[in-house]
Amino acid sequence: MALSCSRLRSRLSLIRLSGLSTNKITNGFYLQDLSCQSRLPLCRHYTSSKVRRGIGRYVSSRLQWANAKYEGFLKRRFPRFFLLYRTFMEGFKMLFQDARDVRRIKTKMLVDGVKFQDLNYREMEKLRQFRRDLIKAIPLVIICIPPFANYIVFVLMYFFPRQLLIPHFWTHRQQLEFRRLYHSHRVQHHQPVLKELEYMSHQVKNGHLQSLLKNLCAKVQSGGNPKVSEILAVRSLFSRAPLAINTLNNNHMRYISPLLFLTPRLPGFLIGRRLNSHALELFQLDRALSRLGPHQLSESELKQACYVRGINADSLGTNQSREWLSQWLQVSSALKESEVSLLLHCIVLLSANYPGASSHH
């Protein structure tokens, strides 16, 4: 017994001196040695997991230091490129965050059986915008695939930011500038849509409704801003020929497509399907926004909601923007799904002459 204790004490001394590096099993004392190791200070301080964490923290700190030095160099020597670089890095962070949000929403829809129309407004808008951004980002991702192509991407970003990049990678000044430019392209189609609508009014057989539609078109064409009641008075005309979406002629659909930033250079049946899909999506967004309440939107969300529906709210105050959006929702809430064609025409009817809006024909 005394011999065993003596051997144990000598073995513990060796373990302490060797830093617990031995894993040899002798004399049947492996389990006892293991229990002793757990109480030794060196074991606690030098476990492999803690060593790995220490190395990881060191490497991370050195990378952060190197990145800070690199950014400082760019900021001093190439300030314009530094702004592009920072915008690019922040844009990727936002894009990855959006991707995580979309994945969470998709999982919710799949696991809980939630349909798109049952999502809340912010979830709907996130899915809608992410899908549009992803489609536009695909060519840029393809360009990035070859080795060292990221340098080419930076050059393209610098010279063609509007054509190649999604809003995540735009500076605040670019966002305002590009939104104004896109809206000016949309405004160019206001008059063609109104003229086509006036022309189609001659095919309306009901004399009273025909008169109401002609007066509505004339009021907007002369610079007037129609009331919600005047628009809703002709709602029934947009659920049947010739103004329902599936009965619009090709020219009419091609005039409306740019209002939603859709290309008109497609066969007529494809344009009709896309218009119907976007109109129903907008209709469901309006339902969700009515449940939330426009007053719950932040200023950036409010401006984006107005922009999607046909008006550039950058030139409007917050109260004016909320007032316009409330008018839109009054019209939308009163419509049936079969009348969504009127919702598309409201992009012109409600925004063309709204006081303070930056519309230039």
Tens-place pLDDT, residues 79-136: 777 777 788 888 888 989 999 999 999 999 999 999 999 999 999 999 999 999 988 8
Tens-place pLDDT, residues 316-358: 999 999 999 999 999 999 999 999 999 999 999 999 999 877 6
Q: 3-class secondary structure for the chain?
A: CHHHHHHHHHHHHHHHHCCCCCCCCCCCCHHHHHHHHCCCHHHHHCCHHHHHHHHHHHHHHHHHHHHHHHHHHHHHHCHHHHHHHHHHHHHHHHHHHHHHHHHHHHHHHHHHCCCHHHCCHHHHHHHHHHHHHHHHHHHHHHHHCCCCHHHHHHHHHHHCHHHHCCHHHCCHHHHHHHHHHHHHHHHCCHHHHHHHHHHHHCCCCCHHHHHHHHHHHHHHHCCCCCCHHHHHCCHHHHHCCCCCHHHCCHHHHHHHHHHHCCCCCCCHHHHHHHHHHHHHHHHHHHHHHHHHCHHHCCHHHHHHHHHHCCCCHHHCCHHHHHHHHHHHHHHHHHCCHHHHHHHHHHHHHCCCCCCCCCCCC
Q: Residue 39 — very low, low, confident or very high, per pLDDT cuts 50/70/90?
A: very low
Tens-place pLDDT, residues 147-181: 766 667 777 777 888 988 889 888 889 999 999 99
* 334, 235 Cβ separation under 8 angstroms: yes
Tens-place pLDDT, residues 281-329: 999 999 999 999 999 999 999 999 999 999 999 989 999 999 999 999 9
pLDDT at 140 (0 to 100): 73
pTM score: 0.78
Tens-place pLDDT, residues 58-72: 777 777 777 677 667
Cis peptide before 242 (omega within 30 of 0): yes
Which is nearest to 37 in space by CA: 15, 10, 9, 6?
15
Report how far residue 114's alpha carbon sits from residue 81's, in angstroms, rounded to the nearest whole number: 45
CA 53 to chain centroid: 36
Q: Classify the C-alpha dihedral 313-286-261-245 as positive or negative.
A: negative
Report how far residue 296's alpha carbon sits from residue 276's, in angstroms, rounded to the nearest whole number: 28
Residue 41 in this model has a pLDDT that exceeds 80: no
Report how far residue 267's alpha carbon sits from residue 342's, in angstroms, rounded to the nearest whole number: 22
Which is nearest to 321 in space by CA: 336, 333, 341, 304?
304
Tens-place pLDDT, residues 238-276: 999 999 999 999 999 999 999 999 999 999 999 999 999
Tens-place pLDDT, residues 13-26: 433 434 434 343 33
Q: How many CB atoms sit inside 10 A of residue 259's CB?
A: 23
Report how far residue 154's alpha carbon sits from residue 140's, in angstroms, rounded to the nearest whole number: 11
Which is nearest to 239 in space by CA: 344, 349, 340, 330?
340
